[in-house]
Structure 1
Amino acid sequence: MTEGSEFLTRIRKLKWINRWGLSKNLVAENVMEHSWEVAVIAHLLGLLARRNGERVDPAQLALAGLYHDATESLTGDLPTPVKYHSPQLQQAYKALEHEAVEMLSADLAPDLGAEIRALLSGEHLNEKEAQLLKAADMVAAYLKAEEERDAGNNSYERPLGYLRERMEKLSCPEVEQLFAEFINIETRSRGPIRE
């Protein structure tokens, strides 16, 4: 095998890893689909933040969104309630993610590996960009949960409330702007953030 060939093989596995493993799903969502959606949302949030005068790079945010869950090609998708159940589990998962970053970037030539390592870990993002990436991930999850709920899947009521609270705690004006400018009127009328 040539250097780098394992990297793309691993990344392509993301399409087989389903999200929301602890929930009944009317529409399956895999990690690859989710990553693309996060990339688009992160890019839009970056554009809004730049318009607000923040020093962010929307293109870097889009790349970060594409790679933000790439380590799950090795770890699988650990459900949020498990991942954050205790400080010990959270610390163990962070260590596992770090190891997955190293394994994925080691699949590449050293010069490419260093660039990919930065994308996988998010270390290339400034504080505001990291906040926007986290927000994009939450918005994508919120939209998925809302889609399921609107299709009659009541098991997503609890995740919707949880995600609303998490988005509120971020205090990110760009999320409110995103919902006001880019999310359809039905979703906007409920709003992700309480007024």
Structure 2
Amino acid sequence: MNYHFFAMMSRMKYIERWSLMRNSVNENISEHSLEVAMITHALAVISNVRMGNSLNVEKAALIGMYHDCTEIITGDLPTPVKYHNTQLQEAFLQMEELAANRLLDLLPADMKGAYESVFFQAEEDEYLWKLKKAADKLSALVKCIEERKAGNSEFAKAEKALWQAVSDMHLREAEIFIELFLPSYSLTLDELS
């Protein structure tokens, strides 16, 4: 029997983000998910190294890597639509859960358990999911910075809102990431060398 899970995951590259915005450079959910995985991992490392925690950094990365895979089925709904009201938000959460279960059903039964904990939040991983949420916002903020750097003012309002959203999380790991790493996203390749 053939299982289609990874063939479906490979389709993440076809789902474009920021569909309502004029983009200087298009971004798909595969690219975004890799960046979110790296930032989530970094936030967990920061938490362990700088704050004395003992988080599972590898699991943090996996949660970030798979965080938007349901969009293979649902598509990337624009934020103004997704969060328009609580009814739409609840309906979208139900849609995401159905999509996640549908994707998990594409795995052999003996492998499902290894993926369920990165598709669905378990109580013991609550903090990792909080870090993933911050990483998702930081990745979107990086996109806004890159668009501004390319001379595109289309993302100015989103950038301001994302700065506020990250600040409102009051997450020390995100503050440290911003302080240590975010300024570099404004630099050119020569300046990074």
Note whether the superposition's TM-score is higher than 0.5: yes
Question: Which residue does 1:70 correspond to in 2?
Answer: 69
* Aligned partner of residue 178 in structure 1, secondary structure: helix
In the alignment, the residues of structure 1 paired with residue 76 and residue 68 of structure 2 have an alpha-carbon distance, to the nearest angstrom, of: 9
Q: Which stretch of structure 1 is more off in the superposition, 125-134 or 61-70? A: 125-134
Question: Which residue does 1:34 correspond to in 2?
Answer: 32
Question: Which residue does 1:15 correspond to in 2?
Answer: 13
In the alignment, the residues of structure 1 paired with residue 42 and residue 184 of structure 2 have an alpha-carbon distance, to the nearest angstrom, of: 18
Report how far residue 179 of structure 1 moved. 1.8
Question: Which residue does 2:131 correspond to in 1?
Answer: 132
Unaligned runs of 5+ in 1: 189-195
RMSD: 1.7
Q: Deviations over 1:116-151 (max 9, x none)?
A: 122112337523211111000000000001110121
In the alignment, the residues of structure 1 paired with residue 185 and residue 37 of structure 2 have an alpha-carbon distance, to the nearest angstrom, of: 23
Equivalent residues of 1:10, 1:74 under 8 A apart: no
Q: Which stretch of structure 1 is more off in the superposition, 178-187 or 34-43? A: 178-187
In the alignment, the residues of structure 1 paired with residue 123 and residue 37 of structure 2 have an alpha-carbon distance, to the nearest angstrom, of: 15
Identity of aligned residues (%): 36
Equivalent residues of 2:146, 2:185 under 8 A apart: no
In the alignment, the residues of structure 1 paired with residue 72 and residue 25 of structure 2 have an alpha-carbon distance, to the nearest angstrom, of: 21
| 1:39–1:84 distance in 2 versus 1, CA, 3 Å | same
Task: Give the TM-score taking structure 1 as reference length.
Answer: 0.90
| 1:130–1:86 distance in 2 versus 1, CA, 3 Å | same
Letter of the aligned partner of 1:117 in structure 2?
A: E
Equivalent residues of 1:7, 1:104 under 8 A apart: yes
In the alignment, the residues of structure 2 paired with residue 125 and residue 76 of structure 1 have an alpha-carbon distance, to the nearest angstrom, of: 29
Q: Does 1:46 align with 2:38?
A: no
| 1:19–1:125 distance in 2 versus 1, CA, 3 Å | farther
Task: Give the TM-score taking structure 2 as reference length.
Answer: 0.91
Question: Which residue does 1:93 correspond to in 2?
Answer: 92
Question: Which residue does 2:103 correspond to in 1?
Answer: 104
Question: Which residue does 2:182 correspond to in 1?
Answer: 183
* Aligned partner of residue 147 in structure 1, secondary structure: helix
Report how far residue 54 of structure 1 moved. 2.5
Q: Deviations over 1:25-69 (max 9, x none)?
A: 010000000000000000100000112122411111111111001
Letter of the aligned partner of 1:47 in structure 2?
A: V
Equivalent residues of 1:71, 1:120 under 8 A apart: no
Equivalent residues of 1:11, 1:73 under 8 A apart: yes
Question: Which residue does 2:160 correspond to in 1?
Answer: 161
Equivalent residues of 1:64, 1:122 under 8 A apart: no
